[in-house]
Structure 1
C-alpha cells in the first residue's frame, strides 16, 4: 500500500486485521494468502533472542506446505489454511533444515504438513537433495494412505525418514464415510504393508465417538489395527472445531449453538460424551499398546530391508537399537560402525557409538566418538552434555563443567546441563 513519506497508513486500509474504535470493532477485508511460500523467511534466522521459547524443541517441527488436498468433515484445516494447497520448494525445505542443523545442532526433524506426500515429485526431489548434499538427518512426517506408493516410501527411507503417521481414524467403512475421509480399509492395509516393507515405523491416528458409532464399529477398528501392525498410535474422541462440516451440520440441525465456543470453557468440545466413547477409547488405546509391543522389527526384517533398499543410515540405526535392546552390543556396534565408515560426516553413527560405549563402560572410547559428533555438527548441545557426564564419571570435574557450560550456551533448556551446573 503506497503512502506519503512520513504518513501512517490508516488501519482500515490494512487487510486482514481487526481493531477496536469508539464505534466498536472493525474487521478489514481478508488478506490474500501468500502464493509463494518460498518468500517467507526462515524462523530460525530470527529467533535467537526469542524470550521463553525452547528453540531446540520448537525448531524440530517444520511445515513445508499450507492446505490439504483432502476434505475430512471433522478437520478445520480448510478454514485455517484455505482450500488450496500451497507448497514450498524442495530447495527451500532443505535450505531451512540445513540452516537449523548448522546453527542449532538439530539432526532430527518432524514435518507437520497435513499431507506431506501430496505432491510425489516434490518429495522425491526433497529426498534426492538430502542424500546428494549429505544432510544426514532423521525425520518423520504425516500423510494419507492414498498418497504413498512403494517408490516414494523407499526414497523417503533412504533419505532418513524413520516414521510415517497416517490418519486411519476407523476400521469401519460406515464411520469412514461419516467422517468424510475419502479412503477405504483396503488402502489402509496396502499403505501400511508398504511402510513395513520399507522398514519405517508406522504410527496411526484413530477417532471414536462419531454419533452413530456402535461397538461393532470399534470391533472393526480393532481388527484393522491388529492386521496392519502399527508401532504406535493416538486415539481421540471426535471433537467440534469452528468451520468444520460436522460443526456446521450440527448447528444447522439445532444440536448445538453457534456460540458454543464462546459459552463453553472446556478444553475440548466432544460430539459425544457418554459411556460408549469412554469404553471405545479405552479399548482402542489398549489395542494400540498391545499391537505395538509385538510390531517391532526383528533381525530378519532388517535383513529384508537392507536387501530391498541397499544401505541407508536409518536402517542401520533402527537395527542397532534393536540389538542394543536385546543386549547384543557387538552387533549394535557393527551397525553403527558401518555408518561411520560409509559416511564419516554422518553424526548419527558417532552419536550412537558414543552412547553404546558409555553403556559398555568404555568411557574413553565414548568420549572420542562424541567429540567426532562435534566435528560434523559443532552446535549439537546433547553431545556436549554427554561429554560432561562422561568427564564427571571419570573424575575430570573441571572438564565436565566446561562441557556442561557449553551445552547450556547452545541450549539454555538442556535439562542435564542445568541440573549438573545447579549442583556444582
Structure 2
C-alpha cells in the first residue's frame, strides 16, 4: 500500500474516516502527554508537538496512520496523517510523498482536502489536513446506503468533482487516482477530493505529457498502460466517467478478475447501462469512456452538456477564474505564497525530512544581491575548495533570491565541500543560511 492511502483499522466500513476509536488504544481520559520526538505512534489524548490533541485513530496502512485530532488553539477538528519516515525511505517511496505534498500545497479549493500544516520529528512526518467525517462515496454507496444515488444527488456531487478537477488542472496538478474511495464528504455533505499520492505536477511532464503508469485498474484510462505519453487531464476525465457510472448504478462499468481482460473491455467499450438509466447521463458517460483521448469528452467540455447544466449552479463561483490561471502562474515569481517559500526551506522540505541521515549534499540560502553577483561569488567560493557546484536561483520577491547549491563533483580530487567554509566566504551577501 502506498503511503498516501490508508486501510481500515477494523473490518467495518473501509473508509478510515468512518471508523470508531481502536479498542486497543489507551483510555482517552488518561492524562495527555506531549509528543515532541518520540518514535512511537501517537495515542489517544497525546499532545502532538504542542499544537494538536489526538482524539482517535481513523485508519492505518503499511506506511501511515490517520488520526482525528483537534487544534488546541481553537478546538477545530482536523485529520492528521502520520507517516513512518524509515518505512517510506526503505520502500523507496520518498518521491511519492514529496509529490503528494507538492501537489496539495498548490491547492486551496472548497472541494479539495486542504493541507493545513506539515510537521516532523526525527522518525515521523505529520500532514495536518481537513477532516471529512462523512466518509468516502464508495463506503457510503456500498456499505451504508447499499444503493445507487438519486440522479439529483449524483449530479450535485459530480458538479463539485468537476469544479475541483478544473481547479487542479489549471494549476498543473493531475490527480491520476480519481475513484469513489478518494472522494470524501465533509460535515455539510459536500464532496472533498483526497489522496494526491499518485498525482502529477508540472515538473513531471516530458514534452507536455505524462509517462508513468499508475492508478487503480478499474478507473485507469486505457492510454496510461500503452507505450508513449498521455494527457493527465484526459486520463482524469476517463475516471470521471467511471465515477459517474458508479454513482448512478452502485457498480463499475468494467469489472474483471483479470486486469488484461478488463483493459480489453475498456478499449472495446464493453459496458452496459440498466434499462432505467437517465438518457442524458448516458451521453455524458459515453463521452468520457471513449478509449481515444483525442475524441474523449473533456473536463471542460462536460460543463456544456445538457445533463450537467440541468438545475445547475454557478460553476464559476466555485471554480473561480480558472481560465485566467494558466500553468505559467506556477512559475511566476510573485505567485509564491508563504507556504511555497517555507516548504522550500530545509526544515520543512520533505526531501530533507526523509533523508537517511547521510551527509547533506546541498544547502540553501537567501540573498538580496543580483543573480549575476550571487553566481560569481558562489563560483569563486567553489573554486577555492576545488568543488563543482550546481546553483539554482529563484526570485521570491523583487529584491530577494532563494539559492539552492548542490554538490556535483570535485576538481582537485576533493569530493566533499565544506558548507561552513562556503557560508563564511559568502557571509557578506547572505540574508539567511538554512
* Pairwise TM-score range, normalised by the shorter structure: under 0.3
Q: Which has the higher helix share?
A: 1
TM-score by length of 2: 0.27
TM-score by length of 1: 0.27
